[in-house]
Structure 1
Amino acid sequence: MSLRTVPLSYIARNLWVRRVTTVLTAGGMALVVYVFATVLMMSEGIRATLVATGQPDNVMVLRKGAGAEINSGIVREQAAVVDSLAQIATDGQGRKLVSREPVVLNTLPKRDSGKPSNVTVRGTSDIGLALRPQVRIVQGRMFRPGTSEIVTGRAVARGFAGAGLGETMRFAGRDWLVVGVFDASRSAFDSEVWGDSEQMIQAFRRSAFSSVVFRLADADSFDAVKAQLESDPRLTLEAKREVAFYAEQSEALATFIRLLGLALSIIFSIGAVVGAMITMFASVASRVGEIGTLRALGFRRSAVLSAFLGEALLLALVGGIMGLGGASLMQAVNISTVNFQTFSELAFQFRLTPAIAAQSLGFALAMGLVGGFIPAWRAARLKIVDCLRAA
């Protein structure tokens, strides 16, 4: 055994001997880590939900300067120019994979409370469905063109009145029959209602589409397509890769949640750090004799410092693991919030990643380091004679 370091078993034993205090202090740290990890998981869940909505070879065309589809407008003449692009892919029937889509917000009552909330209503077609391979009809069938039939995302069908299979929703002055429910693989489309594009334009009295979405025959031709569209004097449009567009949609909300959560975590961590500091000071006060014995045996001040600092870090690690374990259970929870970009409801799940786990444990260890350093320094500065006399 080196006299430069105290055995890890000794450090762990001291925590076990004071297990009630250890559990209480670790529990305080665990609550802070739980909040910290949950906030990061929420932010990551929102980001992953929106990013998963896009396809790498799909292009979205919107009015120049529009931050979201609901703020965009593309008249039919402009949409026809987009349709004529030679770089657009075709399906097995030779049809161009391009979809003109009106997108509007509609207020619908929640199924459980009856309170109104905004839902995104999208006009699309069977080609629009083909452009989103992650979307599949899981109940019923696709709507028929030219009719007042709609299909709803799973989150909408579950959360809003009249949105289930076979039910009727009333909006835009019409009754709409729900003939299908689709699963969008936990993407933002799960929070949308889809109907026939032309019927939606008529019902909402629109004169323009919100966006035009198409698939590139060659994904590498995006820059050329973008330049062609944005340089055309007949158009005031801009093109974005679909994945980039939805990533931008997640930035404002995810950043707000992350900053708010981090601020709360830092405030709460002050209490946890103070608790750890009090616990470690109490440990030093009750073990003055042990400290004197260690010094008398030849252990250096640095060894005593590292021993007590190791206890604080081990205590923090236990709290971090407890908090992270509790936060991981949130992955089974489905919740919804309002997307700041579209002001519509967005359903998502908490998402735990290795990076979030590492950041959470690092945050816990940082609390342990801050809370344990001063008591450990105090223990290392005690004189052998004073310690043995006190014992």
Structure 2
Amino acid sequence: MNKFGNFMIGLGLVVALVVTLGIWVRLPWPAVLGLAVLFALWMALTRLGRQASSVTAVGVSTLRQRLGSSSVIVIGIAGVVGVLVALLAMGEGYSETLRRTGSTDTAIVMRGASASEVMSVLERDNVVVIPQVAGIARDAQGKPIASPEIVVAANLQLKGGTEDDVGSVQLRGIGDEAWTVRPNVKVVAGRKFKPGMHELMVGQGAQREFAGLEVGRQVKLGNQLWTVVGQFASGDALDSELWADANVVADAYRRGGSRNSVTLKLADPNGFDAFKASLEADPRLKVDVDTTLDYFSKQSEGTSKMIQGIGITVGVIMAIGAIFGALNCMFAAVAARAREIATLRAIGFRGTPVVVAIMLETMLLALIGGLLGGALAWLIFNGYTASTLAAGSVGKLSFEFSVTPALLWSGLKWALAIGFIGGLFPAVRAARLPVTTALREL
């Protein structure tokens, strides 16, 4: 019967733990702050709470005597939080770079059913018709602000590598309208390319990633020599591209009059639905259209989810190790303090204050570990530049890790959850330890 009772208590703890963690991971910080205030009031205003405060104070005062085991908990949890936040920061930085590339007042038109710009081909007739559709903004001369563009892959030597260390970069062929559609793109060195010339402008991200892209240098693309005449900055995914005259790119890569897409500026930022309806109503066109914000957000989803999945998987594996470390240390601490706990029980302290005190002690160590791990992740990885082959692209995308407050908060919640699990079972064991047995054994 005793074994059955112990089994049911253990099962109840596991169920309560799962439910609590399920609620915990969804709690926003205001709710957590509210719970912390309520808990502080309980400890200050109730008899059991004051008992828990007293027991907690005693336990915390002995942490220096248990510095080794306490450090195991702190370092283990700091490692979990640091790795988790760093991996999630990579996904966040990747997504943010692509999201910044788009806006709600510009749209991208591609061939129907094309998953991405590089998979789309618009024939010359479509390229001529699309800018004439109602709903497109016009410049001072009355010309539609629409940029038919071509994207191709080019291979260049990576910086710091040998001649065999090459990477893919996206070469975008554009016209004058591209600068009007994207006012955030600024020339930061040199000049713009001249129409009809084999001249390139390079994004800052591409210049950092590949060798030979300094202004004035020549590079070989499509079996032809191109001169780098300028450098631009956009602060988004376009920073990783090379830009050249669309007609010259089409000739060099034998694309004829076709283009991959048409990027345009809407006459009314709220008029996307009307513009889309106009495109769909034209029998000459079989195209898809999205705002550039939606398009680039969709392109980032798959990779971001994959990175997030990897981060959470690695975090869970490391968290399991940290939990076992915390359990081991706290069980040892409870065993070492068995006489003290038994004495408190003998003079009238209830089991609840003992449970609360041990869990608070563990969660304090977890909090320190979480803060340490988050701080290290922010110091080391925030702003760290990386690159990867971008979804929907044929070239590398340079981006910066972004350690946001939301990610730091998630890491802190993971730390406290590990501390909660690691302290719960030792705390319950301490509260259920028979007083006479504990006093007799020591």
Measured against the shorter chain, the TM-score band is over 0.9
Report the Cα distance in structure 2 between the residues aligned to 1:343 and 1:361, rounded to whole angstroms.
37
Do the aligned residues in 1 keep the contact of 2:383 with 2:402 (CA within 8 Å)? no
Unaligned runs of 5+ in 2: 1-43
Secondary structure of 1:220's match?
coil
More moved, 203-212 vs 353-362:
353-362
Do the aligned residues in 2 keep the contact of 1:35 with 1:265 (CA within 8 Å)? yes
Determine the structure 2 residue equivalent to 1:386: 437
Report the Cα distance in structure 2 between the residues aligned to 1:92 and 1:22, rounded to whole angstroms.
70
Secondary structure of 2:382's match?
helix
More moved, 49-58 vs 362-371:
362-371
Secondary structure of 2:102's match?
coil
Change (3 A) 1:56 1:373: same
Do the aligned residues in 2 keep the contact of 1:3 with 1:303 (CA within 8 Å)? no
Do the aligned residues in 2 keep the contact of 1:44 with 1:351 (CA within 8 Å)? yes
Counterpart amino acid of 2:304? A
Alpha-carbon distance, 1:162 to partner:
1.4
Report the Cα distance in structure 2 between the residues aligned to 1:282 and 1:348, rounded to whole angstroms.
46
More moved, 45-54 vs 35-44:
35-44
Alpha-carbon distance, 1:164 to partner:
1.6
Alpha-carbon distance, 1:57 to partner:
0.2
Report the Cα distance in structure 2 between the residues aligned to 1:30 and 1:120, rounded to whole angstroms.
39
Determine the structure 1 residue equivalent to 2:284: 234
Do the aligned residues in 1 keep the contact of 2:118 with 2:394 (CA within 8 Å)? no
More moved, 7-16 vs 202-211:
7-16
Report the Cα distance in structure 1 between the residues aligned to 2:78 and 2:319, rounded to whole angstroms.
10
Q: Determine if the alignment matches structure 1 residue 290 to structure 2 residue 340.
A: yes
Determine the structure 1 residue equivalent to 2:319: 269
Alpha-carbon distance, 1:63 to partner:
0.7
Alpha-carbon distance, 1:274 to partner:
0.4
Once the two structures are superposed, what CA deviation does each residue of 1:62-105 show, in whole Å capped at 9, x if it has no partner? 01111111110111110111111232112334332110100111
More moved, 327-336 vs 238-247:
327-336
Report the Cα distance in structure 1 between the residues aligned to 2:59 and 2:109, rounded to whole angstroms.
62
Counterpart pick for 1:18 among 49, 62, 66: 66
Q: Determine if the alignment matches structure 1 residue 44 to structure 2 residue 92.
A: yes
Determine the structure 2 residue equivalent to 1:88: 136
**TM-score after normalising by structure 2:** 0.85
Once the two structures are superposed, what CA deviation does each residue of 1:10-67 show, in whole Å capped at 9, x if it has no partner? 3432334322321222111111111111111111111100000012200100011111
Determine the structure 2 residue equivalent to 1:346: 397
Do the aligned residues in 1 keep the contact of 2:133 with 2:278 (CA within 8 Å)? no
Once the two structures are superposed, what CA deviation does each residue of 1:332-360 show, in whole Å capped at 9, x if it has no partner? 31111122432421111111222211111
Q: Determine if the alignment matches structure 1 residue 64 to structure 2 residue 120.
A: no
Do the aligned residues in 2 keep the contact of 1:252 with 1:341 (CA within 8 Å)? no
Determine the structure 2 residue equivalent to 1:145: 195
Listed as ranges, the matches of 1:150-229 within 5 Å are 150-185=200-235, 187-207=236-256, 208-229=258-279
Q: Determine if the alignment matches structure 1 residue 79 to structure 2 residue 79.
A: no
Once the two structures are superposed, what CA deviation does each residue of 1:131-172 show, in whole Å capped at 9, x if it has no partner? 112211111111111111111111111111211221111111
Counterpart amino acid of 2:48? R
Report the Cα distance in structure 2 between the residues aligned to 1:266 and 1:370, rounded to whole angstroms.
13
Once the two structures are superposed, what CA deviation does each residue of 1:174-222 show, in whole Å capped at 9, x if it has no partner? 111111111111x101110001111111111103100001101101111
Determine the structure 1 residue equivalent to 2:154: 106
Do the aligned residues in 2 keep the contact of 1:70 with 1:342 (CA within 8 Å)? yes
Report the Cα distance in structure 2 between the residues aligned to 1:122 and 1:288, rounded to whole angstroms.
71
Secondary structure of 1:306's match?
helix
Change (3 A) 1:11 1:151: farther
Do the aligned residues in 1 keep the contact of 2:147 with 2:264 (CA within 8 Å)? yes
Do the aligned residues in 1 keep the contact of 2:84 with 2:411 (CA within 8 Å)? yes
Do the aligned residues in 2 keep the contact of 1:47 with 1:254 (CA within 8 Å)? yes
Report the Cα distance in structure 2 between the residues aligned to 1:217 and 1:332, rounded to whole angstroms.
36
CA RMSD in angstroms, aligned pairs only: 1.5
Change (3 A) 1:12 1:92: farther
Report the Cα distance in structure 2 between the residues aligned to 1:315 and 1:74, rounded to whole angstroms.
60
Secondary structure of 1:18's match?
helix
Report the Cα distance in structure 2 between the residues aligned to 1:216 and 1:17, rounded to whole angstroms.
68
Secondary structure of 2:48's match?
coil
**Structure with the higher fraction of residues in helix conformation:** 2
Alpha-carbon distance, 1:297 to partner:
3.2
Report the Cα distance in structure 2 between the residues aligned to 1:86 and 1:163, rounded to whole angstroms.
40
Counterpart pick for 1:313 among 363, 366, 377: 363
Do the aligned residues in 1 keep the contact of 2:133 with 2:279 (CA within 8 Å)? no
Report the Cα distance in structure 2 between the residues aligned to 1:332 and 1:351, rounded to whole angstroms.
6
Change (3 A) 1:30 1:295: same
Q: Determine if the alignment matches structure 1 residue 373 to structure 2 residue 438.
A: no
Do the aligned residues in 2 keep the contact of 1:153 with 1:191 (CA within 8 Å)? yes
Identical aligned residues as a percent: 37
More moved, 379-388 vs 8-17:
8-17
Do the aligned residues in 2 keep the contact of 1:216 with 1:222 (CA within 8 Å)? yes
Unaligned runs of 5+ in 1: none
Do the aligned residues in 1 keep the contact of 2:92 with 2:401 (CA within 8 Å)? yes
Do the aligned residues in 2 keep the contact of 1:3 with 1:299 (CA within 8 Å)? no
